[in-house]
Amino acid sequence: MSHDHKPDLPSEKRRIERAGGFVEEGRVNGIIAISRAIGDMEYKNRALKPEETMVSVVPEVIVEPMKPDHEFLIIACDGIWDCMTS
């Protein structure tokens, strides 16, 4: 149901570059390894729309109806997926 929003993902990289940033070694401006976050204000330009900033506050939302054969739902922060696979 999801995919990692890493800075080197082509769509994320395009947004970062359009906002004046760059991706180096999988990190925004060579520093942070995430491309979406509520904080990290130094990567947000108030002159841009939230979905256009280097590090966007806009989440990806997927609606998936629950079905009888679904046993559980895992909700986790980005760091866990650096250690585990989706």
- pLDDT of 16 reads 98
Structural domain span for residue 34: 1-86
Give residue-wise pLDDT tens across range 11-21: 999 999 999 99
- pLDDT of 86 reads 66
The two tokens of residue 68 are 């009888």
Q: With CA atoms as reference, report the closest residue to 51 among 64, 63, 60, 62.
A: 60
Give residue-wise pLDDT tens across range 22-63: 999 999 999 999 999 998 999 999 999 999 999 999 988 888
More confident residue, 17 or 72: 17
Task: Please give the model's pTM, rounded to 2 decimal places.
Answer: 0.81
Report the number of distinct structural domains present in the chain: 1
Q: 26 near 33, Cβ under 8 Å?
A: yes
